[in-house]
């Protein structure tokens, strides 16, 4: 019998994640593209420092990105489709965009990579945003229609499909972004997490996103029953000081617990975590002054992954888990290796204790656009902002080799 603390289970997904808007570039029909340029018109001082522009030019350079990942030893690759490219106007489906993402699925298999495809990774078409975004009465129907239209992409060669990336963050931050677009500035996601925590999600958005997820699952299953569907939730390791258990529950429940519980009937559930929050009787505690921080201002806390996985397993018992994002923003690659090895040790321990985890995807493959700035570098591969030249970091070979050798990496 193999030791789950040293050997990767048979069929374990071992990959890196990307998102379309953050890597492709030139997503002109996206609501985020519009928001970025509205922010620039409003002047400096907002949470968007610069536009995404050409990003990593991965719309054209995805073969090179996949070549690198496969060469390192990764066996899986998570990427998203850009809804705004596939449906640039209501009901108008771009066959060229469908063919593009279909070629990515085929290209992944040609390189020995299993694709995990995400339908929606934060961005939506401009027309969808103009009609109320996820608040719109027909939002779930429109998202299901998109899921159906995209079926040629995932109908063959895709085993895992994620409907919505971090719906809890969408429900928490969509009102914040709306304020920013209106010129009434509010803090961005990074600032919120590092200081006052994530805003409490709008319960109406929570319901709307849950409804959209379920409608999309129905649409996918009606076309391709074998595809395993789920969504990925941002799960912070939430710790309570003595006597603050009720306050911690009150913080955690609307921000992540209800989204985890909504996945109890899904084929799998994605877990995405980076750091912890600590709750005292009077609310969230700040990151200690002497704590190591990442480039996003978050506490360096690799133990968050194991804790988040255990919490998720409690709230969605029996649902297989996939870590769809975990990583660190740092300019020091040795700290990336240290963080990731610590996170994976906690994950392996959780699996040894019987928690059903089917895969791990590192965030992210490339240094990319982190929702307002290119400063936070999460990537295993550096990208020159002028030439788009890819330069692998030592962490890429170190982490990828684990997939080839089927053994947990150690620092």
Residues carrying an active site annotation = 166
Query: What is residue 266's three-state secondary structure?
Result: coil
Of the candidates 172, 220, 165, the residue with the CA atom closest to the CA atom of residue 18:
165
For every residue of 316-374, which 3-state class applies, written as one string? CCCCCEEEEECCCCCCCHHHHHHHHHHHHHHHHHHHHCCCCEEEEEEECCECCCCCCCC
Dist CA 251 CA 296 (whole Å): 21
CA 321 to chain CA centroid, nearest Å? 14
Angle at 168 between CA 230 and CA 198, to 5 degrees: 150
Dist CA 152 CA 93 (whole Å): 12
Of the candidates 297, 298, 44, 53, the residue with the CA atom closest to the CA atom of residue 185:
44
Dist CA 325 CA 323 (whole Å): 6
CA 394 to chain CA centroid, nearest Å? 23
**Quick one: CA torsion of 380, 332, 8, 10, rounded to 10 degrees?**
-10
């Amino acid at each position: 019998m193999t030791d789950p603390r040293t050997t990767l289970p048979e069929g374990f997904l071992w990959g890196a994640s990307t998102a379309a808007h953050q890597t492709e570039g030139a997503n002109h029909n996206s609501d985020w593209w519009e928001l970025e340029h509205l922010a620039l018109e409003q002047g400096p001082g907002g949470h968007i420092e610069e536009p995404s522009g050409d990003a990593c030019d991965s719309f054209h350079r995805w073969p090179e990105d996949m070549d690198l990942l496969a060469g390192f030893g990764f066996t899986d690759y998570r990427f998203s489709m850009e809804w705004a490219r596939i449906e640039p106007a209501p009901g108008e489906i771009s066959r060229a965009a469908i063919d593009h993402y279909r070629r990515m699925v085929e290209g992944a298999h040609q390189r020995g990579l299993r694709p995990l495809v995400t339908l929606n990774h934060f961005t939506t078409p401009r027309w969808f945003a103009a009609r109320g975004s996820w608040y719109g009465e027909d939002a779930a129907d429109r998202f299901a229609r998109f899921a159906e239209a995209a079926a040629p992409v995932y109908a063959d060669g895709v085993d895992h499909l994620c409907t919505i990336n971090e719906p809890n963050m969408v429900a928490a931050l969509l009102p914040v972004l709306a304020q920013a677009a209106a010129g009434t500035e509010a803090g961005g996601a990074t600032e919120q997490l590092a200081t006052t925590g994530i805003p409490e999600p709008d319960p109406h958005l929570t319901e709307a996103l849950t409804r959209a997820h379920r409608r999309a699952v129905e649409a996918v299953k009606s076309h391709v029953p074998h595809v395993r569907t789920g969504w990925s939730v941002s799960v912070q390791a939430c710790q309570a000081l003595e006597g603050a258990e009720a306050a911690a529950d009150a913080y955690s429940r609307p921000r992540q617990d209800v989204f985890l519980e909504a996945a109890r009937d899904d084929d799998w559930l994605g877990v995405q975590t980076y750091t912890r929050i600590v709750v005292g009787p009077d609310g969230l505690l700040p990151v200690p002054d002497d704590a190591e921080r990442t480039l996003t201002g978050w506490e360096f806390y690799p133990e968050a992954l194991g804790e988040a996985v255990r919490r998720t397993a409690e709230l969605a018992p029996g649902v297989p888990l996939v870590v769809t994002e975990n990583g660190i923003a740092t300019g020091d690659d040795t700290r990336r290796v240290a963080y990731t090895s610590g996170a994976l040790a906690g994950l392996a321990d959780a699996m040894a204790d019987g928690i059903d985890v089917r895969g791990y995807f590192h965030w992210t493959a490339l240094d990319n656009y982190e929702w307002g700035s290119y400063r936070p570098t999460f990537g295993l591969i550096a990208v020159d902002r002028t030439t788009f030249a890819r330069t692998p970091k030592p962490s890429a070979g170190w982490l990828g080799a684990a997939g080839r050798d089927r053994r947990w990496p150690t620092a």
